[in-house]
Structure 1
Amino acid sequence: MKAPVSWIKEYVDVPEGTTTDDITRRLTMTGLKLEAVHSPGAAITGPLVIGRVLTKEPEPQKNGKVINWCTVDVADANDTGEPQGIVCGAHNFEVGDLVVVVLPGAVLPGDFAISARKTYGHLSAGMICSARELGIGDDHDGIIVLPADAGVPGQDAREVLGLDEEIIEFEVNPDRAYGLSLRGIARDVAVSVEGASNFRDPALRQTPAANDAGYPVVLADTAGCPVFVARKVTGFDPAAPTPAFIADRIAAAGMRSISLAVDVTNYVMLETGRPIHGYDADKLTGPIVVRRAVAGEKLTTLDGVVRELSAEDLVVTDDSGIIGLGGVMGGETTEMSETTTSIVVESAHWDAVSMFRTGKRHKISSEAGKRNERGVDPTICEAAADRVVELLVAHGGATADPGVTVVGTPPAQPTITVAGDKAARVSGMEISEQTAVEALRAVGCEVTGTGTLSVVPPPWRPDLTDPQDTTEEVIRLVGYDKVPSVLPVPPAGRGLTRAQQLRRRFSRVVAAEGFTEVVTFPFVGDADFDQMRVPADDVRRKALRLENPLSSEAPLMTTTVLAGLLRTAGRNVGHGLSSFGIYETATVTVPRGGATRILSVDHGPSADEFAALQAGLPAQPFHLALVGVGAAEEAGWWGEGRTADWADAVDAVRVVADSVGIDLAARGVDHAPWHPGRCAELSVDDTVIGHAGELHPKVCEAYGLPRGSVAAEVDLDVLIERGVHLRPAPTFSTHPVAKEDVALVVDAAVPAAEVEAALREGAGPLLESIRLFDVFTGEQIGQGRKSLAFALRFRAADRTLKEGEASAAREAAVSLAAERTGAVQR
């Protein structure tokens, strides 16, 4: 919303010396946030004066263009007192007219410097200006012709054109619709700027009483349109120009001047906040009726679009059919035009929810719709209509019809009960009950009672509906800047929880393995599961659907972090990265089948309500997902590089688990989106926590990744629950180590992890470490067999091992491996 400062001051007195900065600072603190301060003449420097055209000589040119060689009286503004010779290409002025002249030495918007120069055979010393050249309008073909009484030649034109006017642009939140009017802004100035007083409400006026002689109106839907006021004027001159003060002000507010009839309705809307619509009375047939549309009915709106209506749309009709979308946009059949001489003025109150839905449904955004969908004062319909009639009569030569139609009554305001000390308790400030009452009355509320207050909000504040709203009003007027900043004192000995500390540990460990953290949106669609080749009956497809998703392509809360991570990996490959690792730790959403509930915010939930609420919430386990692409080790002078493979993904998860003292078991499975035969199922004590391995080639193709890319996803909550938070420092033995190697032949289907577990258990407490260093297959081993070579290291903490102790432990380990896995020593 743009509001000229002079227009604001027309409705409220501010102390002398109060600057625009003072006003905007206080309004920002009370809820009308400053967006910008504009000054139309800020980009114009140098002499800009009023001139009187003395001569105008048309001169045809060879290119078919006709220019005017003019002499213009600018008095002493040119330091000579002689008339100024200027070439002008416009033709909308005559000898004797007052025009705006910019003289050599001036600079116009766009850094356009003005100088005397020879053109069309003349020395043109300056320019006769159009609105566009001055940056105050869009009219370029015609220059500005000032009223005869605008001033005298040589006078500075800035004040006449309002170029020194400061225009405040506000960011108006949806709950503060009153801020979309000068009436609302001035009222906030009156209650927030220190020393401001004497607010003059432009909607407070004597209006003629309703009678039976007005244009007939029928409200068939009083819920959608509780109040409808109609006034009529006749004898209107459609050629009458819009007065400069109206045209200038609506232009300053960011609207375009169209015609007097339209400009007046826009002016009153900006002034009072009440949208007004005008009908060509000669095009109306029969009474005006407000009803809901019948599905399938059509209307051609003022923008020339044929719209198919919904049964939820509020429409205005007459005997000819639908003539407008109520409160949103009028129809083409009754549009005011350059021949309109009789006008029916509509000032109606519309249901805000219906206005919002109709606007969204038909993709119509208008200044009227913007106000109606946020809520407008329902009690000023008569005053707004009367103001429009007054301006049409004063400036358009019209005659007001004696008939006044007022149908319906404004909806009643709620009564809010609130404790007198609530604002003090919420804000932490010393706000007395008297201060709270004065603040509420200042914004127009009726307040009665002591201790417990009964508050009736003003009709222009539909956002005030409960005690929290009235409390906010008190605090904002006292001043958000006065709310004390008090930091809570944390109890001694506390800090991050165990879970928080472990989550940070996991993140550091993965980063140390060479992966870079990313953050992705937690939203997916069926296409994501398709690209990951997730089966139709997979539990991961049972995702929570959002009521109002950011994108129709991703309407589900994700059940896997890997979906977003694969998209990110593909995007990085598309930008030219060939080798990288990325990871993300985030919650996923797993529906539990319970019904969700929305509780009231005016009180805390009871124990039963809270339990029911918790039961309906989906589970949100904390997952780690990672993706590796390209080389695991780069080639260089140190040797050949190595491409990442499935084992790298498994090892990265093992390192994470090891950081909390957990050994993971792994076995081969087929699980999307991984490659069959190259996917490991990872578990802790028979509890599956996730999967890791090489991605399926079709998945790599779908996401634009190179074949052989690897990935993993695991549930970290299990590791947090079962892991060791504070691990004891390791002890080191100073005694020598005994090295033993063993090669065992097993079936190809036997996991190496099972063989390793059996060796570890069989070796006993002397075993310090075990490492698989070779896997061999070939004819020497036999079809369907493999050889696993392990390096075993034995050491005692308190002594040197005796001869035969290490070999005995080795034999015990091999024996147990043979018993459990069928291993045969090679």
Structure 2
Amino acid sequence: MRVPVEWLAEYVDLPTGVTGEQIAADLVRVGLEEEGLHGGDVQGPLVVGRVLEVSPEPQKNGKTINWCQVDVGDANGTGEPQGIVCGAHNFAAGDLVAVILPGGVLPGNFEISARKTYGHVSAGMICSSLELGLGQDHDGIIVLTEFLGEDAAAGLAPGQDLIPVLGLDHEVVEVNVTPDRGYCFSMRGIAREYGHSTGAAYRDPALVRAHGGDVRPITVPAATKDGYAVELADAAPLDGVPGCDRFVARIVRGLDPAAQTPAWMATRLTEAGMRPISLPVDVSNYVMLALGQPTHAYDLGTLGGPIVVRRARAGERLTTLDDVERRLDPEDLLITDGGGGDRPEQVLGIAGVMGGATSEVGPETTEVLIEAAHFDPRTVARSSRRHRLSTEASKRFERGVDPELAGAAAQLMVDLMVEYGGGTADPGVTDAGSVAPRGTIELDVGLPGRYVGVDYPPARVREVLELIGCQVTEAGEGRLAVVPPSWRPDLADQPDLVEEVARIDGYDKIPSLLPSAPGGRGLTHAQRVRRRVADALAGQGLQEVLTYPFVGEDRFAELGLAAGDERRYAVRLANPLSDESPLMRTELLQTLPDALRRNVSRGAKDIALFELGTVTRPTRGAAAPVPGVGARPDDDTLRAIRDAVPEQPWHVAVVAAGAADRAGWWGEGRGSDVTDVVGWAHAVCDLLGVTVERLQAERAPFHPGRCVELALPDGTTVGWAGELHPKVVQRLGLPDRTVAAELDLEVLTTASEPRAAASPISTHPVAGSDVALVVNRSVRYGDVEESLRAGAGDLLESILLFDVYRGDQIAADEQSLAFHLVFRAPDRTLRTEEVNAARDAAVARAATDHGAVQR
């Protein structure tokens, strides 16, 4: 929002000699961010020039430049025409243009000098609005008769100083308006905020019209029965909120079509970043900038019936003022002419966005119908985005316009048209609809202090709320009943009011203190588990990665998951980032191999990766309800939403390919195999003090016979590890013999929860004994180990398989498994007889269970 300082001074008392920089700093104090300062930075000579000759000269680069002779009067000291090179083509001989001569300075400290270009010495520059800081138009230069209007430009002469004419000696402060502060898209709102910041006296432009020291009250007449007919017929309001709850219509007759916009108004519009067009349009824009209430003027001669505000019908179209034909949506709110007699019904515009071309005010218009209405912000916002049509009106309506402004805005527009257009105000006044009163917010006066950490006395809280326009009454001990002002739709609950207290009292009064951490808090056990697991795997030489959790249905087939596999049942996103990956992963191994393939494709041959992340396991049953946005959902709805949220457990996965030990002068290397990935899985479990068993298993996407299931002693599955199936490796584009593992961290976290005090460590010596058992090759060594543990009893401290022999000294279908058994007692040194007895009992149990024979 551009704020001309001279205009601001009409609504609020500014200190003598105040600068734009000081005003910007005062507005920052109440939360309005400075976007820039304009004006006052153009240094002369900037003068009026009359183009005498224009000679187009094509260049080798395909561009055509104009060599111009421009009359600048005596401003150049000689009175001779000035030779200037110009690349624009929107002017001709005889036009009045803005010329800056050598020695002048443009915004950005851009100094102008005579210089040779395109074979000529160009002594100055013919300026565009962008170059002068008057707007963003850089397509052509300023033609003064178009920019200022015929009447304003009629008195200009070559060589005349243009800086005061264009208002370039006036400062303009530009502020960034956040979406919740829509009322600041107006001089009314900015002036009010400046008054809050500095305490300066404020004059509401909705109550008084002030210009050049002339202050007049704005008297809004009451509605009459003979006003122009208006029907509010919204048959499909959004969540029960009508698209239009107030519509004020006024008529001005007998306008002079040749009437020009007054120079002061054209200057203010230009300073605010808008281009003067015609008196009716300029008056409408001026009122919008002054009050924040968008208005619209219709050519009364094009209307044939009552104004009807309704939703669009299927198939309706409208050509808007930008000459684009638009297909209307049934949710669009329209302003229509109901027709009558021989006049058909017609659409006049999209409410709050843009009017239609059929009722546009033209150069022959003498009677206008003025519209000042209040539209639902959501309806306007949706129409604006649907038609990709962001206008000055829609920007204000979708942020919330003061519903009490419509009458004052219409009256101000009538007054200006009558005064400068020579028209007569029709006595009929239409004010259709009614605005619902604002609800009351009950505020705990101690809440601002508790939220912000600053002691705000109750009297100060009430003072601030009344200062911003709230109606405040006592609502019991320590509580206030607050009714927000009509221009603040963003104030809806207690935290909103708390923010206002902090903002107006001063953000700079809030101390910057680092809060101290309360005692007895820290990482949860699950957080510590995840950090320790990541550290352990990184210590094993693996690299951590993060992958996107989105997959497509074809990934399940690539991994070889059966048709009924539970892992195929995945959450589908309503609005996925990619249509090819609309599902949430149910395992990390559905996305982690992509990271391995990407690294291998970029030259990394020997690589081992791990990822800690969540997977999504949807709950089968009723979908979550979708509540409306008009009010907070009730407890049952919130409970149903929470119950429908899918489980998202934490997993850790590993994938590796290439060499585990690289080859070199030290000897041959070794490729990654099942033992590596199983070892990494065991490292995670051992780190957490969780004992797991290895069970032979078959599970996609692993190779049958090269996959183990890791389980707790009670049978709870922790995860799987092994070599990926060759077909899976081929489909995913991975290196041969790729190995992988995935563990459920939720299971490991629960199993590693501290439950009791640790057993004391025995200080007595250990006793070791080795046994070699011959069993059939079909017997798994893990089963033999379990039998030895069961037979050895409580004295057995640990057991380790250290050799497997298959050779000519035993039968072809047999294998010899050698185990090292370690025994220790907690309270004494074991005798040889006790160790031998425990060892023999272990061997006997293995013989009974598996037919083992000691070698």
1:659-738 to structure 2, matched below 5 A, reads 659-685=687-713, 686-696=715-725, 700=729, 705-723=734-752, 725=754
Q: Which residue type is aligned with residue 469 of structure 2?
A: G
- Give the whole-Å Cα distance in 2 for the aligned partners of 1:30 and 1:802: 86
On the 8 A contact 1:12/1:186 being kept in 2, the answer is yes
1:753: which partner in 2?
A: 782
How many angstroms does 1:382 deviate by?
2.0
The CA deviation at 1:206 is 1.9
Which residue type is aligned with residue 220 of structure 1? A
Map of 1:68 onto structure 2: 68
Distance in 2 separating the partners of 1:309 and 1:401: 33
> Contact between 1:39 and 1:166, CA under 8 Å: does it hold in 2?
yes
Equivalent residue for 1:377?
A: 402
2:666 is equivalent to residue 638 of structure 1: yes
Residue number among 26, 41, 48 corresponding to 2:44 in the alignment? 48
Give, in angstroms, the shift of residue 339 of structure 1: 5.8
Per the alignment, in what secondary structure is the counterpart of residue 226 of structure 1?
strand
Query: Which amino acid in 1 is paired with 2:723?
Result: E
Provide closer, same or farther for how the CA distance between residues 246 and 821 of structure 1 changes in structure 2, counting only shifts above 3 A: farther
Q: CA deviation at 1:178?
A: 1.6
1:334 aligns with 2:359: yes
Decide whether the 8 Å contact of 1:580 with 1:628 is kept in 2: yes
User: Counterpart of 1:628?
Assistant: 656
1:220 aligned residue (228, 233, 240): 233
For 1:552 and 1:736, how far apart are their aligned partners in 2?
64
Distance across 1 between alignment mates of 2:411 and 2:188: 16
Taking the aligned partners of 1:438 and 1:650, their CA distance within structure 2 comes to 70
Q: Which residue is 1:211 aligned to?
A: 224
Q: How many residues align?
A: 811
TM alignment of 1:168-247, pairs within 5 A: 168-173=174-179, 175-191=180-196, 193-202=197-206, 205-221=218-234, 223-234=242-253
Write the letter of the residue equivalent to 2:184. Answer: G
Q: In structure 1, which of residues 498, 502, 508 is the aligned counterpart of residue 535 of structure 2?
A: 508
Report how far residue 438 of structure 1 moved. Answer: 1.2
Amino acid at match of 2:200: A
Work out whether 1:125 is the aligned partner of 2:123: yes
Q: 1:121 to 1:751 in 2, by over 3 A?
A: closer
User: Is 1:86 the equivalent of 2:116?
Assistant: no
Give, in whole Å, the separation in 2 of the partners of 1:257 and 1:21: 27
Q: Describe the shift of the 1:120–1:666 C-alpha distance in structure 2 as closer, same or farther (beyond 3 A).
A: closer
Partners in 2 of 1:576 and 1:617 — Cα distance?
A: 41
Displacement after TM superposition at 1:215 (Å): 3.1
Give the Å deviation of 1:614: 6.8
| Cα deviation code 1:769-795 (max 9, x no counterpart) | 51466697999976xx68575553647
Name which of structure 1's ranges 804-813 and 428-437 shifts more when overlaid on structure 2: 804-813
- Match of 1:449? 474
* Contact map agreement 1:230 1:406 (CA 8 A) in 2: yes
Evaluate the alpha carbon distance shift between residue 99 and residue 374 of structure 1 in structure 2; reply closer, same or farther with a 3 A threshold: closer
- Where 2:711 maps in the other structure, the secondary structure is strand
Q: Is the 8 A contact 1:280 1:340 kept in 2?
A: yes
The AA in structure 1 aligned to 2:126 is I
8 Å contact kept, 2:685–2:691: yes
2:38 matched to 1:36? no
Task: Choose 283-292 or 596-605, whichever is displaced more.
Answer: 596-605
Structure 1 residues not aligned, in runs of 5+? none
The within-5 A match list for 1:444-483 is 444-449=469-474, 451=477, 452-483=479-510
Question: 2:134·2:273 contact (CA, 8 Å) conserved in 1?
Answer: no
Are the counterparts in 2 of residues 679 and 691 from structure 1 also a CA contact under 8 Å?
yes
The aligned amino acid for 2:539 is: A
Q: Look up the SS of the partner of 1:100 in the other structure.
A: strand
Q: Percent identity?
A: 43
Q: 1:613 to 1:315 in 2, by over 3 A?
A: closer
**Alpha-carbon distance in structure 2 between the residues aligned to 1:603 and 1:483:** 32
| Counterparts of 1:244 and 1:644, CA distance in 2 | 83
Distance 1:683 1:657 in 2: 10
Deviating more after overlay: 509-518 vs 11-20? 11-20
Q: Report the CA distance between 1:432 and its aligned residue.
A: 1.9
AA partner of residue 679 (structure 1)? C
CA distance in 1, matches of 2:423, 2:657: 78
Contact 1:38 1:167 in 2 (8 A): yes
In structure 2, C-alpha distance between the alignment counterparts of 1:124 and 1:667, rounded to whole Å: 88
SS at match of 1:184: helix
Instruction: Please tell me whether the aligned partners of residues 772 and 816 of structure 2 are also in contact (alpha carbons under 8 angstroms).
Output: no
Once residues 246 and 387 of structure 1 are traced to their aligned partners in structure 2, the CA distance between those partners, rounded to angstroms, is: 14
Any conservation in 2 of the 1:817–1:823 contact (CA below 8 Å)?
A: yes
Superposed, 1:378-777 pairs within 5 Å as: 378-393=403-418, 400-449=425-474, 451=477, 452-484=479-511, 495-520=522-547, 526=553, 529=556, 532=559, 534-535=561-562, 537-543=564-570, 559-573=586-600, 577-592=604-619, 593=621, 618-685=646-713, 686-696=715-725, 700=729, 705-723=734-752, 725=754, 744-747=775-778, 751-762=780-791, 765=795, 768-771=798-801
Mean Cα displacement is larger for which, 476-485 or 452-461? 476-485
C-alpha deviation, 1:409, in angstroms: 1.8
Pair 675,331 (structure 1): closer, same or farther in 2 beyond 3 Å: farther
TM-score normalised according to structure 1 size: 0.82
Q: Is the 8 A contact 2:21 2:37 kept in 1?
A: no
Distance (whole Å) between structure 2 residues aligned to residue 82 and residue 189 of structure 1? 48
Q: CA deviation at 1:288?
A: 1.6
Tell whether 2:354 aligns with 1:350: no
1:312 equivalent in structure 2? 331
8 Å Cα contact 1:279-1:345 kept in structure 2: yes
Cα distance in 2 for residues equivalent to 1:674 and 1:185: 67
User: Is the CA contact 1:15–1:195 (under 8 Å) kept in the aligned structure 2?
Assistant: no
- TM-superposition CA deviations, 1:146-166 (whole Å, max 9, x none): 746679947583884427634
Where does residue 212 of structure 2 map in the other structure?
none
Question: What do the CA deviations read for 1:155-204 (whole angstroms, capped 9, x no partner)?
Answer: 5838844276343231403x32223333222222211x234332433465
On the 8 A contact 2:50/2:158 being kept in 1, the answer is: no
Alignment of 1:249-328 (within 5 A): 261-303=280-322, 306-318=325-337, 319=339, 320-328=345-353
Residue segments in structure 2 that go unaligned for 5+ positions in a row:
209-217, 236-241, 340-344
